[in-house]
Amino acid sequence: MSHSANSNSAQVRYADREKLARLYDIEVQRFVAAHPESAKAHAVAAGPMMNGVPMSWMAKWPGPHPVYVATAKGSRFTDVDGIEYVDFCLGDTGSMVGHSPDASVAAIAKQLAQGITFMLPTADATVAAATLAERFGLPKWQFTLTATDANRHIIRYARHVTGRRKILVHDFCYHGTVDETFANLDDAGNTVSRENNIGAPFDVAETTIVVPFNDLAAAEAAFATGEVAAALIEPAMTNIGIVLPEPGYLEGLRELATKYGVVLIHDETHTLSEGVGGMTARRALSPDAVVLGKTIGAGIPAGAFGMSQELTDRVLGNVHLEHIDVGGVGGTLAGNALSMAAVRATLTEVLTADAFVAMEALCDIFTADVQGILDKYNAPWQVSQLGCRAEYSFRPTAPLNGREAADADDFELQQFLHLHAINRGILMTPFHNMALMSPAHTLADVKRHTEHFEEAVAALFG
């Protein structure tokens, strides 16, 4: 189910900043008192690791340090202080199937004992590819270790077969650490480097054209330059809050891509939340390529891209076997036996159509509860839903594009809400206000969030 109507009405910034700072301080004190073991673990970790974390953005949690995980199973994890959390972050989709689902663990354990990587194919890959082909309606699949790599590779193929250089992306998109995608629109409508693009390797205006989401005229103008090899899009934006497509937008992009010979790529890494075949199948769309990653191997590194027969034929006609190992598409561990065993079991035994029905039904309740609380306290925020994924944003109506969504961002407000949640045994996705349901989530899990959310909203607006 997709919730809420689109409009471009402006955000209302939470006004009482003193109260917000006061409320946040209370939560920080509560967090510090409850997490002595995480604090110790963090202090030790600061020795050998920058910011005390194995990857930089793990430092971007509210409070003085992240919580350190001891164990996890299903919808929950326990930290090193013995506190149990309902996990709505789920590794930012890496664990959308729930932590360590039994069927995936069994297949992974079996393969671990039978050989991990060979640079030779295993039968699991065939089953995984056939499953994806059936679900997404694209006949040919390749596997990588991450969604980022899948995006990089399909972009290369698109450039190679079209002989064009540029990639079209949406303003405020995120597709992993793909250089071409770190681009924004400036106020004059020019494509410029995204703020804080670390060590930008080139001027993105040379490789990229940015357009607003839901703007077919802008897409057509970009395609009409004749320079665009591929449009790399999320069919609904999910990394700047949820931005849903207006009726006809995705179909219109398909028509334009065909008209101008542009390879249309749906990055469904997150929008897979709409069902086994993502938005592509659910909305009967027909991109030239689809990208997946994160959760398809239950968190064991795996990405994938699927291609239409036509695109596959064009690639095969332009890439020669003799040079295939040094062409810029690949990865020694890509398609390894362990990943493929994980993907096969996860797709066929965990991420089933029935599982999606249950996940979405729970998310309907999550979304309705959040909306009910916003209405009760007259909070000028909204909540959007995309299958088993929901997100609230600090503006009264659903955003129409990435800029509108970005303008509603409020870092301090988010920090308070996320820390308030952590202190009540709930983990939300960092960087925004997103919640995911796994097949293991229960009504009790959702209601725990509802309780925290009402308490937090009442404190802010009551």
Applying CB under 6 A, which of residues 239, 280, 295, 384 lies at the interface with ligand PLP? 239
Q: Which stretch in 14-22, 65-73, 111-119, 168-176 sits in contact with ligand PLP by CB under 6 A?
A: 168-176
Residue 4 φ/ψ, nearest 5 degrees? 75, 150
174 scored as a contact of ligand PLP (CB under 6 A): yes
391 scored as a contact of ligand PLP (CB under 6 A): no
234 scored as a contact of ligand PLP (CB under 6 A): yes
Q: Which stretch in 50-58, 134-142, 225-233, 263-271 sits in contact with ligand PLP by CB under 6 A?
A: 263-271
In whole angstroms, what is the distance from residue 28 CA to residue 13 CA? Answer: 23
Q: Which stretch in 75-83, 98-106, 173-181, 200-208 sits in contact with ligand PLP by CB under 6 A?
A: 173-181
Amino acid at 84: E
In whole angstroms, what is the distance from residue 341 CA to residue 107 CA? Answer: 6
Question: 3-state DSSP call for residue 350?
Answer: helix
- Binding to ligand PLP by CB under 6 A, coded x per residue (else -) over 133-162, reads -------------xxx--x-----------
Closest by CA to 118, choosing from 382, 334, 394, is 334
User: Which residue, 302 or 417, is less far from ligand PLP as judged by CB?
Assistant: 302
CB of 92 to ligand PLP, least distance (A): 6
Closest by CA to 329, choosing from 318, 344, 337, is 318
Applying CB under 6 A, which of residues 164, 170, 175, 418 lies at the interface with ligand PLP? 175
Return the beta strands (E) in 234-302 as ranges: 263-267, 289-292
306 scored as a contact of ligand PLP (CB under 6 A): no
Residue located via tokens 């190679």: 160
294 scored as a contact of ligand PLP (CB under 6 A): yes
Burial of 220 (0-12, 13-18, 19+ CB in 10 A): middle
Rg of the chain (C-alpha set): 22
CB of 378 to ligand PLP, least distance (A): 33
Going by the DSSP 8-state scheme, the letter that residue 119 receives in this structure is S
E strand or H helix at 446, and its extent? Answer: helix 443-461
Going by the DSSP 8-state scheme, the letter that residue 167 receives in this structure is E
Q: Name the closest residue to ligand PLP (Cβ).
A: 176
User: Which residue, 269 or 423, is less far from ligand PLP as judged by CB?
Assistant: 269
**Percent helix, strand and coil across the chain, each rounded to 5?**
45, 15, 40
Closest by CA to 76, choosing from 104, 102, 95, 56, is 95
CB of 443 to ligand PLP, least distance (A): 28
429 scored as a contact of ligand PLP (CB under 6 A): no
27 scored as a contact of ligand PLP (CB under 6 A): no
267 scored as a contact of ligand PLP (CB under 6 A): yes
335 scored as a contact of ligand PLP (CB under 6 A): no
User: Which residue, 151 or 371, is less far from ligand PLP as judged by CB?
Assistant: 151
- Binding to ligand PLP by CB under 6 A, coded x per residue (else -) over 178-217, reads ----------------------------------------
Q: Which stretch in 17-25, 172-180, 312-320, 369-377 sits in contact with ligand PLP by CB under 6 A?
A: 172-180
CB of 199 to ligand PLP, least distance (A): 18
- b (16+ CB within 10 A) / e for 232-265: bbbbbbbbbbbbbbeeebbebbbebbeebebbbb
171 scored as a contact of ligand PLP (CB under 6 A): no
Check if the beta carbon of residue 191 is closer than 8 Å to that of residue 216: no
Going by the DSSP 8-state scheme, the letter that residue 296 receives in this structure is G
Binding site for ligand PLP (CB under 6 A): 146-148, 151, 174-176, 234, 239, 267, 269-270, 293-294
